[in-house]
Amino acid sequence: MIYVKLNEDNFEYDIYSLVKAFYPKEEVKIGTEDTINLDDILFTMEVQYSQNTLTLDGKQIDIDYSNRPDTKNRLKLAIYESLHQRTGKDLPWGTLTGIRPTKISLGMIEDGASDEAVASYMKTTYLTSQEKIDLSLEVSHKEHQLLSKIDYDNGYSVYIGIPFCPSTCLYCSFTSYPIGLWKKKLDDYIAALEKEMAFTAEACKDKSLTTIYIGGGTPTSLDEEHLEKLLSTIDKYFDTKSLLEYTVEAGRPDSITYEKLQVMKNHPVTRISINPQTMNQKTLDLIGRFHKVEDIHRVFGWARELGFKNINMDLILGLPNETIEDVQYTLDEVKKLAPDNLTVHSLALKHSARLNYDRQAYEDYLIENSQKHMDICLVAAKDMGMSPYYLYRQKNMAANLENIGYSTPGNEGLYNILIMEEKQTIMALGCGCACKFVADHGKTVTRCENVKDVQLYMDRIDEMIDRKRERLREDLKWL
Ligand code: SF4
């Protein structure tokens, strides 16, 4: 264990995230207690805050305590320096531990800063590596170009969550329940969603709807009849024909049938996702995806046959026992299919995932990700005519890297940019979903969450709608 002792509770989460980035496998405790059982301690650090200085392990740093962001940066730089000396390690993103590193570069580009100014700022303030600065700049310029074509400020987007899956993947930390257990309640679930749709359409009637994204879970774990019901209900409340983008994250190939693809095609869905995660059968078996590699090829072929022109595929790097050769094999197979988007995730070991809480069972498994893995994905994406257009990071990501969305020109997922860069209000409907209310051109962002339990969601739907009404009134003044 690593113990960081503070003289007062302040910046605990930032300190925790940075220490954890250097020592991903070590337990990290942050506290103000003087006495702690030292038996398991690898080392301790001590942070003392006072009016004009902060002291890290006896080293004094001048601060202006009233300037919180600056104090936080200086503290993180000092901790980084100390941990760099201990480990000899550098982190690709430097002291940046947040989810949205491109918010910094995009914000500066929007304010007219040059690439040199952005690079210099990221390097000196956060110690970000040149490689990640270049990536941030490329992504931010693409985002800037796409966002400048749309009136996102006067619009909103809708996310609809279907929290069911055929089975639970080993690494899953999302709100997801086995569809088999909920088959008899799907009408009730869609009825609760309809209440939310009716409220949302009315409450946002003076704003234009930019995109719809149906995610999960796995939306195509609904049978054909319920998928049709869901999409028809959406058509009833929203003007789906004038959307800039309408995505269904079909997701797992074992949930997709020709008929379900036809249902989506009969509605104005413009973009779908068919997510293999890997093209290696041994890994699919290991992570609890009960389908064959051939199913991925077959389902993709059906989607093209039916005329879907914008298909995304998700991959995960760092899956158990996958070598870099396995990743290369996956990329070679994906290239044969030639999707329009490729989203590459670095495995994040989340607390609630079986891979984490049952980790003893998997401790001998290789879990490997590196810049080399990211680089071969970049090469494959470029071979398919794609470039990176959005990125984000998560907690506990393998090798401290990032998730990158690639796209062929004109097929970029707009919703992904709007939510990740917090540019637009997202009305999120469904169990476990969280609305994001974006005000003052992104300066203020508040959240409003629905409960994660399916039965409670259905039972308490009116209460959740009331909460959203209140937030829309108070945070956005839309009502
Ligand atoms: S498909 Fe996604 S949401 Fe469903 S169990 Fe797997 S990781 Fe979780």
Could you report the per-residue pLDDT of 181-237, keeping only the tens digit for each?
A: 999 999 999 999 999 999 999 999 999 999 999 999 999 999 999 999 999 999 999
* pLDDT confidence tier of residue 352, bands split at 50, 70 and 90: low
Q: Which atom of ligand 1 is nearest to the CA of 175?
A: 3
- Dihedral over Cα of 109, 111, 114, 120: its sign: negative
Query: Residues 249, 217: contact at Cβ < 8 Å?
Result: no
**pLDDT above 80 for 363:** no
DSSP string, 154-184: GEEEEEEEE-EESS--TT--SS-EEGGGTGG
Return the pLDDT at 35: 67
SS (H, E, C) 414-451: HHHHHHHCCCCEEEEECCCCEEEEEEHHHCEEEEEECC
User: How far does residue 476's CA lie from ligand 1's centre (Å)?
Assistant: 33
Joined together, the tokens standing for residue 411 give 């097929």
| Residue pLDDT, tens place only, 453-467 | 999 999 999 999 999
DSSP string, 85-97: HHH----TTTT--
* Mutational pocket test of ligand 1: of 170, 171, 173, 174, the residue with most ligand atoms within 8 Å of the beta carbon: 174
As a whole number, the mean pLDDT across the chain is 94
Distance between Cα 162 and ligand 1 center (Å): 11
Q: What is the mean pLDDT of residues 143-169?
A: 95
CA torsion 339-344-347-351 (nearest 10°) is: -90
Who wins on pLDDT, 445 or 58?
Answer: 445
Residue ranges per domain, the chain? 1-89, 91-139, 150-468
Is residue 468's pLDDT more than 70?
yes
How far are the Cα atoms of 156, 269, 357, 389, 404 from residue 209, in angstroms, in the given order? 5, 14, 40, 22, 26
CA 59 to centroid of chain Cα atoms: 37
Across 57-67, average pLDDT: 87
In the reported structure, the alpha carbon of residue 336 is separated from the centroid of ligand 1 by a whole-number distance in angstroms of 25
Give the pLDDT confidence of 114-128 residue by residue, as tens digits.
Answer: 999 999 999 999 999
Position in ligand 1 atom list of the atom nearest CA 252: 1
- Give the separation between CA 176 and CA 164, rounded to whole angstroms: 5
- H/E element, 406: strand 403-407
**pLDDT tens digits, residue range 406-452?**
999 999 999 999 999 999 999 999 999 999 999 998 889 999 999 99
CA-nearest of 125, 131, 133 to 105 is: 133
Element housing 345 (H / E): strand 341-346
Position 234 scores a pLDDT of 98
Residue 344: per-residue pLDDT: 97
| Ligand 1 pocket, mutate which of 176, 350, 352 (most atoms under 8 A from CB) | 176
pLDDT at 249: 96
Please state the rounded mean pLDDT for residues 282-292: 91
| Residue 364: predicted pLDDT | 77
Which atom, in ligand 1's list, is nearest to the CA of 167? Answer: 5
Mean pLDDT to the nearest integer, 274-279: 96
Residues 6 or more apart whose CB falls under 8 angstroms from that of 91 comprise 21, 22, 80, 127, 400
Protein residue with its CA nearest to atom 3 in ligand 1: 217
Whether 34 shows a pLDDT value over 80: the answer reads: no
Pocket of ligand 1 (CB under 6 A): 165, 168-169, 172, 174, 176, 216-218, 251-252
- Give the residue, by CA position, lying nearest to ligand 1 atom 5: 168
Residue pLDDT, tens place only, 88-101: 999 999 999 989 99
- Tell me how far the alpha carbon of residue 28 lies from the centroid of ligand 1, in angstroms: 28
Protein residue with least CA distance to atom 2, ligand 1: 217
CATH number for the domain running over 150-468: 3.80.30.20
Which tens digit of pLDDT belongs to each residue from 288-307?
888 999 999 999 999 999 99
